[in-house]
Structure 1
Amino acid sequence: MGEIQDQLLILVGALVCLNYLLKCVKFFKYFLLRLWNPLPKSFFRSMGEWAVITGAGDGIGKAYSYELAKRGLNIVMISRTLEKLQEVAKEIEQATGSHVKIIQADFTKDDIYENIKENLQGLEIGILVNNVGMFHNYFPCHFLNEPDEVQNLIHCNISSVVKMTRLILRDMEIRRKGLVLNMSSGAGLFPWPLCSLYSSTKAFVRMFSKALQVEYKEKGIIIQVVTPYSISTPMTKNLNPSIITKRADEFVKESLDFVATGDETCGCLAHEILAHLIDLVPSWIFYSDAFQNIVWTRCRNYLKQNSRIQEEIFEEEEGNGYIQQHYSG
């Protein structure tokens, strides 16, 4: 009996060591990316003629539109503000020479997809970036104190990913090539108290993407979920860039270099290191009341010091802990 227990413990220990070894190998791929699996310059253009980006009016979506246009693709930009789309589209065409098509759509609504489908007819779409997203409470807060924007949040953060993927994936399957990038968040890597609803929607995007990659990998399609932490965008009130807080353009440029590293990436080396450090914190510590209070206080102070946001926002009552919804797209 004792011998069986010893063998069982050895097996468990070996599996734990193997798990950490695999994590280390994945992590070091970021350091050795260009030696490990460098992408040819023609990679993105080889996927197809057009790239479709949701939430493309500003922030990360705008940065993806610019960067993919620089890499030789024509761009379909989808967002809700027509004037902003027209302005950005003109800038991209003048800067890159690529063709840009715009589609006005509000992803908090559920009746927009037939119009999008009609506008995409006949295009050889090689890349889809499901970027549009909504962050409905700027400060961490308890679930019952969050704004009542549940349906909008689900439409924007979940339905948009599922329905846009369904619109475009079939043609990729027929051509047996394509790239789908789904923007999740570091908040979706594990349950995130005081941000429970947003965290849960982003966890859905992560699980959905990883499952789809298993289904369609053998058909020549890359489906990758991107889980960044802090990015300076209008949705995050333009946090001041730092080692951790990346500018949208630099983040996007770096993240595109990681599309060959697997079905999931934080998008940049700094966020990958941060994710591994957070993973080392035992869950009982992370979910303790004391730790959550520290997170709330530090987060609030960080936002106050580093975001370009009007001071009156921070004069909200402590019990509320939120302001208006923030919508990228």
Structure 2
Amino acid sequence: MAAGVDSFHLLYREISRSCNSYFEALALIGALYAASRGVVLLRDCCMVARVHFLPRMMPSGRLTQRYGDWAVIYGAAEPVAGAYAEELARSGISIIFITQDGSSVRNTASFLSQTYGVETTIVTADFSLGQAAAKLVTEALRGKDIGFLVNCMDEMSASPRSLIKIPEQGVLDRVNRNVGAATLMVRLVLPGMVERSRGAVVNISSGACCRPRRGRVTLSAFTGYLDNFSRALHFEYSNKGIFIQSLIPFQISSSSSGQGWFAPSPAVYARHAVSTLGVSNRTTGYWPHTLQYGLMKCIPEWIWVLGFWVLLG
């Protein structure tokens, strides 16, 4: 029995001696991996501080001097777009509202004029009419120092709905408003910005472009388009003095009862988002949403989809 035990210990020592180099290599690989993850975490923390905190502590000057005196807001019927317009008006920027229904923004325009002393203009343009709507917008822009274009999707607050339950004309209208009209607005505003070598284009979509969701087929598609459209514009026009930004917020609460740390009011979100102008060309615009986005990206898509099936049946 003793001889058997001695033989085992001898065999164990021989195996340990022969595998020692492999253990050291595995330990080195583990240490390098842990160090790399630590560097990534540090980089992400620095990025959050640079994008969301430093600009609020050290403003970089008046927005009118950096970009221009006028802002064009498309999709202002959405609460977040209206709040973004108010934040710009607070900085002394006059607003042009482009909308299909003028009554939806009339109160907002009047409030901004009376509160902040800026000019406001409402252009009623139905982009399903094509060139006729474009002419109306072009006339409204003529002679103005347009410094901002803000495109906002009009489906951000819509309730989930299966694609086959949306009428065919409804699908065409949504594509026209969220893809066609947003693209055309950029086409109409960019020439003046390029000529002046300054300006900012902000496309507000949604974090729905990050992961698929049930009942949000069109929302995911439209947000994905606006996000990639913004990145392509940034690649093409950033060297011409134009700042292009893709904002991909997560939940924004329009009611005081539903507000929270991860669901800010439109006003709170807009205040944070405007501070990222000129800092990041692709951001959630609000630092708790950036944390949310980081956690979401850590989850493999198949686990995300499985979780939705389990939770929602």
Q: TM-score when scaled to structure 1? A: 0.76
Does the residue aligned with 2:250 lie in a helix, a strand or coil? Answer: coil
Structure 1 CA distance for aligned equivalents of residues 309 and 129 of structure 2: 35
Matched with 1:184 is 205
- How far apart are the structure 2 equivalents of 1:145 and 1:292? 20
Distance 1:241 1:295 in 2: 23
Q: If the length of structure 2 is used for normalisation, what is the TM-score?
A: 0.79
Structure 2's unaligned 5+ residue stretches are: 1-24
**What amino acid sits opposite 2:75 in the alignment?**
G
CA deviation vs aligned residue, 1:261-283 (integer Å, no higher than 9, x gap): 32111011111111111111122
Match of 1:323 in 2: none
Seen in structure 2, the aligned counterparts of structure 1 residues 89 and 214 have a Cα distance that, compared at 3 Å, is same
Structure showing greater relative contact order (alpha-carbon pairs closer than 8 Å, 6 or more residues apart): 1
Larger proportion of helix: 2
- Identical aligned pairs, as a percentage? 26
Q: Distance in 2 between matches of 1:145 and 1:82?
A: 28
Code of the residue aligned with 1:69 in structure 2: it is A
Helix, strand or coil for the counterpart of 1:181? strand
Match of 1:88? 108
The answer to whether residue 178 in structure 2 is matched with residue 157 in structure 1 is: yes
Query: Per-residue CA shift, 1:159-189, capped at 9, x if unaligned?
Result: 1221101101111111111011101100012
How far apart, in 2, do the equivalents of 1:160 and 1:294 lie? 37
Note the C-alpha offset of 1:41: 3.4
For 2:85 and 2:309, the matched residues in 1 are separated by 39
Per-residue CA shift, 1:279-323, capped at 9, x if unaligned?
A: 1112221122xx1234547xxxxxxxxxxxxxxxxxxxxxxxxxx
Q: How does 1:152-231 map to 2 (within 5 A)?
A: 152-231=173-252
Unaligned runs of 5+ in 1: 1-5, 298-329
TM superposition shift of 1:135? 5.2
Is contact 2:52-2:275 (8 Å) kept?
Answer: no
CA RMSD of aligned residues (A): 2.9
Equivalent positions of 1:294-309 (< 5 A) are 294-296=310-312
Map of 1:27-46 to 2, 5 A cutoff? 27-30=48-51, 32-34=53-55, 38-46=58-66
Change (3 A) 1:38 1:211: farther
- Are the structure 2 counterparts of residues 80 and 214 from structure 1 closer, same or farther at C-alpha, using a change threshold of 3 Å? same
Q: Is the 8 A contact 2:73 2:97 kept in 1?
A: yes
Quote the residue 1:305 is aligned against. none
The number of aligned residues is 282
Whole-Å separation in 2 of the counterparts to 1:156 and 1:199: 15
Alignment equivalent of 2:87, drawn from 39, 45, 67: 67
Alpha-carbon distance in 2 for matches of 1:270, 1:243: 7
What does 1:240-279 align with in structure 2 at a 5 Å threshold? 240-279=258-297
Code of the aligned partner of 1:51: A
Question: Secondary structure of 1:134's partner?
Answer: coil
Residue pair 1:136, 1:153 contacting (<8 A) in 2 also: no
Please identify the structure whose Cα radius of gyration is greater. 2
SS of aligned partner of 1:168 = helix
